Structure 1
Amino acid sequence: MKLLTFIDKGVHKLGVKTEQGILDISASVKNGINFDIKTDIMDFISGSTEEVTRLQDFIDYSISEKKAVFVNEDEITWGPCVTRPHKIICVGLNYRKHADETNAPYPEVPILFNKFDNTLTGHKDEIPVPKVTKKLDYEVELGIVIGKKAKYVEVDAALDHVFGYCTVNDLSARDLQLRTPQWLLGKSCDKFSPVGPFLVTADEVGDPNNLSLKTYVNGELRQDSNTSDMIFNCAEIVSYISQHMTLEPGDIILTGTPEGVVMGYPEDKQHYLQPGDIVTVEIEKLGALTNYFIEE
């Protein structure tokens, strides 16, 4: 199932991508359908598998009874596909070729840092280039969204705690990031974590450790890799984090970026993002996420 949010009168509404188009769940519920169904995306992330099954039953029924309300995909204002994560946890230097291009040794354990919900935004949103940076970089990343509370989880059971996956652009102001040994400042400016367009349930994704990833800047391919190049795979990441903190439903884990970032180029070929640039990050089975960069 492909879940999403769109913004209507300042409210994040739940939508589902179907073969017929994007179904507006709350509008369909109000269209005379006697179904006890939740209409907030966070309720489904934190709910049981029965909640998702009930949602699918509702979708099938509303379409068959011609009571489904659809919205135009080209006209909606997209929201982040996860709206209220308790934590946003990121893994640094988690691709072999990315570590190689930055002349960094492979980490022995996952390098963790965090971002905040001020960084969240959605597909097709405009992102201001902060005045405080001259080195804004892109990073396509696979996002893991936790669905069940996880603490001291073994690797073999780790993915059982995952609700689904999404495409993320872990935007990074390199001059701020490298100002100190702590990376947080360069990662946490406003709208630095566009996520979406869809949150795809784990059953539809299958193996998250074999997905292609791509980044395009103004139509030019910049990153082209596969999650199989990760140093620590998805199960290892979830298990490792759970040894140190409790993962809650709705938490997002950004699993690192592959080679091809601006910082990895020779200095005379580094062309960082500028107002007017259009960046699309794309992951197999999860969809393409596009944002427009503007002057702050």
Structure 2
Amino acid sequence: MTTERGIGRVVGDEVELLDTPFGDLGALIGATGSLDVLDDCAVLERCSLDSLQLLAPLGRPGALWGVGLNYRSKAAHAGREAPAEPLIYLAAPSAVLSPGGEVAVPADATEQLDYEAEIAVVIGRRLHRAQPADVWDAVAGLTAANDMTARDVMRRTATPVLAKSFPGCNPLGSSLCSPDEFTDPDAIQVRSWVNGELRQDDTSAGMIFDIPDLVSRISWFAALEPGDVVLTGTPAGTGQDLGRFLAPGDRIQIEVGPVLPLVTTVGTPTG
């Protein structure tokens, strides 16, 4: 994880602050391609998790890729056929928000702000025209994402990048786990809660295009570089599905496998 005091390793309820020259995990991955170098770093200090301010683990990532309608549960709820090709878009990296942060969009921007629990894949090694079998070896880690979307902006503009790029509308974190920390990287659990109510509960086994396939397909058209992030879609249970959009004061919690929970609060709309 990345904290205001540097890079740390989670051990139970504590964090080991590590002696590393890198300011965040994004810089480390850009230089080394993986999290492995942290295994040899000396521990500077141990402290409680709740005593630290957590930052977006990568700082500001490189490219921020996303995919629409990539869970069978979401397609079934919408009454739509599974797409033959992934529906790919880019969002602005300036939308990234730190764990525990508050997001507040302009009052006149949207009346239908929505949450989307997603597995975020962090690229560690350059991928271009890669086969699916090559993908996991090039992944530095995975984390949780809340790919928030202004649904009314999406309908009005038909442009995902505009509906998903308001500052703070793409929280990432709280921690970054390497693929081998997941019991089954082909069936990673992803869940969301809003104000303590479970809204989404699925696994990556429910994806239409699984993680290796999705990343491979993107790489055939664009080179993926270290520090790029691929958001892998969201299952059924979003506010769009339930007709219940976010309001000021709402607290969203996203959980992805062993990654620390990602919590975001909706603030009062800005002027």
**Amino acid of the residue matched to residue 181 of structure 2?**
E
- Cα-to-partner distance string for 1:39-68 (whole Å, 9 max, x where unaligned): 33223313447x744421224xx3xxxxx3
- Cα-to-partner distance string for 1:234-255 (whole Å, 9 max, x where unaligned): 0001110110011000000000
The secondary structure found in structure 1 opposite 2:255 is: strand
Out of 253, 258, 263, the position equivalent to 1:290 is 263
Aligned to 2:10: 17
**Amino acid of the residue matched to residue 8 of structure 2?**
G
Give yes or no for contact 1:159–1:238 (8 Å, CA) kept in 2.
no
Q: What is the 5 A alignment of 1:1-296?
A: 4-7=1-4, 13-19=6-12, 21-25=14-18, 29=19, 37-40=20-23, 41-48=25-32, 52-59=35-42, 62=43, 68-131=44-107, 132-205=109-182, 207-265=184-242, 270-296=243-269
- Cα-to-partner distance string for 1:107-132 (whole Å, 9 max, x where unaligned): 11111011112111121111114311
Give yes or no for contact 1:102–1:263 (8 Å, CA) kept in 2.
no
Distance 1:53 1:208, change over 3 A: closer
Mapped to 2, the partners of 1:224 and 1:72 lie a distance apart of: 29
**Amino acid of the residue matched to residue 285 of structure 1?**
P
TM-score (norm 1): 0.85
**Amino acid of the residue matched to residue 10 of structure 2?**
K
- Cα-to-partner distance string for 1:237-291 (whole Å, 9 max, x where unaligned): 11101100110000000000000011113xxxx2210001111011122231111
Paired positions, count: 267
Give yes or no for contact 1:129–1:275 (8 Å, CA) kept in 2.
no
**Amino acid of the residue matched to residue 16 of structure 2?**
L
Mapped to 1, the partners of 2:137 and 2:38 lie a distance apart of: 20
Mapped to 1, the partners of 2:238 and 2:215 lie a distance apart of: 25
The secondary structure found in structure 2 opposite 1:153 is: coil
Mapped to 2, the partners of 1:182 and 1:48 lie a distance apart of: 35
Mapped to 2, the partners of 1:145 and 1:84 lie a distance apart of: 12
Mapped to 1, the partners of 2:260 and 2:145 lie a distance apart of: 10
TM-score (norm 2): 0.92
- Cα-to-partner distance string for 1:52-111 (whole Å, 9 max, x where unaligned): 44421224xx3xxxxx31343213222111113210000110001101212332111111
Mapped to 1, the partners of 2:184 and 2:129 lie a distance apart of: 22
Distance 1:100 1:44, change over 3 A: same
Structure 1 residue ranges without an equivalent (≥5):
30-36, 63-67
